Amino acid sequence: MEAVLAKYENQIHVFSEFLEDLPDTDEPVWILGEYYNVKTEKSELLSDVRSRLWFTYRKKFSPIGGTGPSSDTGWGCMLRCGQMILAQALVCRHLGREWRWVAEGTQPAEYQRILHCFLDRKDSCYSIHQMAQMGVGEGKSFGEWYGPNTVAQVLRKLALFDDWNSLAVYVSMDNTVVIEDIKKQCRQTNQDPKLRAQEELSEGQRQVPHPLSRSTGRSRQPLHWRPLLLLIPLRMGINNINPVYIQALKECFKMPQSCGVLGGKPNLAYYFIGFIDDELIYLDPHTTQSAVDSETGSAVDDQSYHCQRNPRRMKITSLDPSVALGFFCRSEEDFDSWCNLIQQEILKKRNLRMFELVEKHPSHWPPFVPPTKPEVQTTGAEFIESTDKLFESEEEFEILNV
């Protein structure tokens, strides 16, 4: 039954597109920290949504692990959402929140390099292959559905092998964000002297005002700070989201550091990027496209990596209570600003807090040790057979995915 549903999934989504449009309302629309008036700024709003990197199910990629699935249809939706939230952090890091994608337009070299990180091949650092292999270490077998917390842990581990982006991925524990631990992790320097020197040179060249800085007046990034992707797994209710959390969730989308939210409905993952009134706006990974093949260093055909449909929406009250909030802080000043916003807008105004923000590492917790790259890489790449098995026919592909 699942295979039949997956087969007609694309047609269902295409049909539903004719039923959706943005409402004609005076209510503000918030997209990842940016405000829009839908009546006067609709084109700007749609351009913003289209510019987000959109990762969906893919088929006909080299089998995961050499003999595993060659499509993630039906099981990889939360992994694809994880790719989207991480890609948003990388776009903010290298291109800035103000960057916009133009179809057939010329894009910066950093944009193409970001795309290469997510191609459906075993040697791309955030590919479906690497994520699925790393998920094995989290107790997930190939083809098994993931939750927001598991995907957050997978991203945290994979980021250790990504020297180019040098991103610090912090995943909170027990609904608690520890400021001391985050600053310790973000102040780590690269262990490789050559890479550390390259980082310092690259960052030194950025010590001028740059579009990467948001409108808060930030223009400098200290050399010792590694850009932060902060992921906060939460459960905001039992079977449904508790209404007391709804306003706090909205406030998260208003913050300039907002990187979106992983969540959805039971066994149906979405990447939430904003809200309008009582509806969440999201990117939907449930469309199966053919894998895009691109040689290392060559330009990626990026048309299928940007959703050009109307933004999808769902009632906030329909949200599954299990989510992971995402925030990107490019500098220490940016992180300090986020802490202040959380204190003012989330913690002081709510009787029931979404999560806790504490200054010091709790004494009853084990000591915090900033994660470092293992001496023996375990991203899964070395466990994948060197010769990829390609299916001889579409029938063989369908048999595997029944």
Per residue in 287-311, pLDDT tens? 999 999 877 667 899 999 999 888 9
pLDDT of residue 21: 79
Give the residue from 312, 366, 302, 222 showing the smallest Cα distance to 21: 312
The percent of residues above 90 in pLDDT, for the chain, comes to 66
Residue 219's pLDDT band, with cuts at 50, 70 and 90, is very low
Q: What is the mean pLDDT of residues 313-338?
A: 97
Give the residue from 372, 363, 250, 379 showing the smallest Cα distance to 316: 250
Residue 173's pLDDT band, with cuts at 50, 70 and 90, is very high
Of 42-51, 153-162, 296-305, the poorest mean pLDDT is in: 296-305
Beta bridge partners of 358: 178
Residue 142's pLDDT band, with cuts at 50, 70 and 90, is confident
pLDDT of residue 296: 67
Q: Encoding tokens for residue 278?
A: 């009582």
Q: What is the mean pLDDT of residues 319-337?
A: 97
Of 49-53, 222-226, 229-233, the poorest mean pLDDT is in: 222-226
Residue 215's pLDDT band, with cuts at 50, 70 and 90, is very low
pLDDT of residue 391: 28
Question: Between 12 and 226, whose confidence is greater?
Answer: 226
Q: For residue 208, give the amino acid letter.
A: V
The rounded mean pLDDT for the chain is 83
The percent of residues above 70 in pLDDT, for the chain, comes to 79
Q: What is the mean pLDDT of residues 67-71?
A: 93
Catalytic site residue from 48, 72, 77, 186: 77
Query: Considering the entire predicted model, what is its pTM?
Result: 0.83
Q: What is the mean pLDDT of residues 320-331?
A: 97
pLDDT of residue 375: 67
Catalytic site residue from 48, 286, 320, 334: 286
pLDDT of residue 307: 95
pLDDT of residue 20: 62
pLDDT of residue 140: 87
Residue 141's pLDDT band, with cuts at 50, 70 and 90, is confident
Residue 7's pLDDT band, with cuts at 50, 70 and 90, is very low
Tell whether the model's pLDDT for residue 214 goes beyond 70: no
Of 191-200, 246-255, 377-386, the poorest mean pLDDT is in: 377-386
Query: Is residue 307 flagged as an active site residue?
Result: no
Tell whether the model's pLDDT for residue 393 goes beyond 80: no
Tell whether the model's pLDDT for residue 284 goes beyond 90: yes
Residue 63's pLDDT band, with cuts at 50, 70 and 90, is very high
Q: What is the mean pLDDT of residues 368-377?
A: 78
Q: What is the mean pLDDT of residues 192-207?
A: 48
Query: Is residue 286 flagged as an active site residue?
Result: yes
Residue 267's pLDDT band, with cuts at 50, 70 and 90, is confident
Q: What is the mean pLDDT of residues 267-295?
A: 94
